């Protein structure tokens, strides 16, 4: 049986980080943006930190003004094909899924940290990385929502599966701030046909409508949310929420998955606000693309001219 639980009133903290975060501003104003996403929101423009800072963040960052920040805009023509990149190996333990919760900034599904065999290896990774949680970012309209963009194009939403390095670190908390501590796989979502596997999560979203609520979920195998084509881009980057630690190996699948408009609407029905507070729709919870600086984006696939134009 599924049962919603109201959590404490303490400020929201992302799992495994000691930094205090509070979400204090209203939803970013402004019209829906087209495929070429630019930050034109008044709240963003007035912020002294500009596109580096989301208007719902306060708190400390570990690397203010860092050189490996995420997300980025991926330019197909500038990505470098690396024939030495092997396929990513994925194996998740569905029974280790514990609950879904509304963090006050996004919808997050958390897994048992002791599930040592549940995670990813291969690809650009030197060893096995263990699954900790997955979450979503989405927009108020289909033309925006993803954190990464491809040739300036944004998608309606983006899924992040967050893994930590148990070979180097004794816990997720230690890995967050450590070199090669995290690996995040990203999947773009676009409107289309109903995604049957995602519906298991969508069905419980009304029970976590408000900030600081959670509901039991599982068993759930998140590999069912991955695209059938496993081509990917990879680069060295950061968390996309405070503390913005530059400890992440990003692996971004090239092919998006389709989800029904009704499923996207279910995410947009969630709230940034807690019970008793003025309601604020949980939309546009993504960070703007950051400068690539001197980094290289590698691809596991050899692009064609037709793919470049797609």
Closest CA to 284 of 159, 145, 163, 185: 145
Between residues 210 and 20, which one has the greater pLDDT? 210
Question: How big is the chain, counted in residues?
Answer: 310
Residue 185 pLDDT greater than 60, yes or no: yes
The CA distance from 98 to 173, in Å, is 18
Q: What's the pLDDT score for residue 113?
A: 83
For residue 46, pLDDT over 90 is answered with no
Average pLDDT over residues 5-15: 36
Q: Span 235-263, mean pLDDT?
A: 97
Tokens of residue 224, six digits: 């069912």
Query: Which whole number is the average pLDDT over 36-52?
Result: 40
The phi, psi pair for 302, rounded to 5°, reads -95, 115
Give the pLDDT band of residue 62 (cuts 50, 70, 90): low
* Residues 241/22, Cβ–Cβ less than 8 Å: no
pLDDT in tens, 230-242: 999 999 999 999 9
CA distances in angstroms from 36 to 55, 174, 291, listed in the order given: 21, 37, 16
pLDDT score for 6: 43
* Beta-strand pair 182-191/257-259: parallel
H or E, element range at 98 = strand 97-102
Residue 159: pLDDT over 60: yes
Pair 209, 270: CB distance under 8 Å: yes
Torsion angle of C-alpha atoms 163, 283, 4, 96, degrees rounded to 10: -10
- pLDDT value for 229: 97
| H/E segment holding residue 267 | helix 261-268
69-108 burial string, b = 16+ CB within 10 Å, else e? bbbbbbebeebeeeeebeebebebbeebbbbbbbbbbbbb
Averaged over 85-92, what is the pLDDT? 97
At residue 116, the pLDDT reads 85
Of 15-24, 30-39, 150-159, 169-178, the poorest mean pLDDT is in 15-24
Cβ partners under 8 Å of residue 142, min gap 6: 156, 190, 191, 261, 264
Every domain of the chain and the residues it spans: 88-231+255-287
CATH architecture of 88-231+255-287: Roll (3.10)
On the question of pLDDT at 20 being above 70, the answer is no
Q: Are 176 and 245 in contact (CB under 8 A)?
A: yes
Residue 24 has pLDDT above 90, yes or no: no
Q: Is the whole-model pTM more than 0.85? A: no
Q: Which of 102-106, 124-128, 181-185, 300-304 has the lowest mean pLDDT?
A: 300-304
In degrees rounded to 5, what are phi and psi of residue 80?
A: -110, 120
């Amino acid at each position: 049986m599924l049962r919603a639980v109201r959590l404490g009133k303490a400020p929201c903290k992302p799992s495994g980080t000691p930094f205090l975060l509070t979400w204090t501003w209203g939803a970013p104003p402004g019209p829906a943006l087209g495929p070429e996403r630019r930050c034109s929101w008044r709240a963003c423009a007035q912020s002294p930190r500009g596109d580096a800072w989301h208007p719902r963040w306060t708190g400390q960052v570990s690397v203010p003004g860092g050189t490996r920040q995420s997300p980025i805009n991926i330019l197909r023509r500038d990505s470098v094909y690396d024939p030495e990149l092997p396929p990513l190996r994925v194996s998740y333990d569905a029974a280790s899924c514990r609950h879904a919760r509304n963090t006050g900034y996004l919808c997050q599904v958390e897994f048992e940290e002791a599930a040592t065999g549940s995670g990813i290896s291969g690809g650009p990774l030197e060893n096995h990385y263990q699954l900790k949680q997955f979450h979503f970012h989405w927009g108020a309209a289909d033309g925006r929502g993803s954190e990464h963009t491809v040739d300036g194009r944004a998608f309606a939403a983006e899924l992040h599966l967050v893994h930590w390095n148990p070979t180097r670190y004794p816990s997720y908390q230690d890995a967050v701030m450590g070199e090669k501590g995290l690996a995040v796989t990203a999947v773009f979502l676009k409107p289309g046909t109903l995604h049957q596997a995602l519906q298991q999560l969508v069905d419980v979203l009304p029970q976590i409508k408000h900030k600081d609520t959670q509901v039991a979920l599982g068993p759930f195998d998140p590999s069912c949310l991955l695209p059938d084509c496993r081509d990917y881009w990879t680069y060295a980057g950061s968390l996309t929420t405070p503390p913005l630690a530059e400890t992440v190996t990003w692996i971004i699948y090239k092919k998006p998955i389709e989800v029904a408009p009704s499923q996207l609407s279910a995410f947009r029905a969630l709230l940034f606000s807690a019970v008793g507070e003025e309601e604020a729709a949980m939309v546009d919870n993504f960070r703007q693309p950051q400068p690539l600086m001197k980094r290289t984006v590698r691809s596991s696939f050899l692009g064609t001219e037709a793919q470049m134009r797609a």
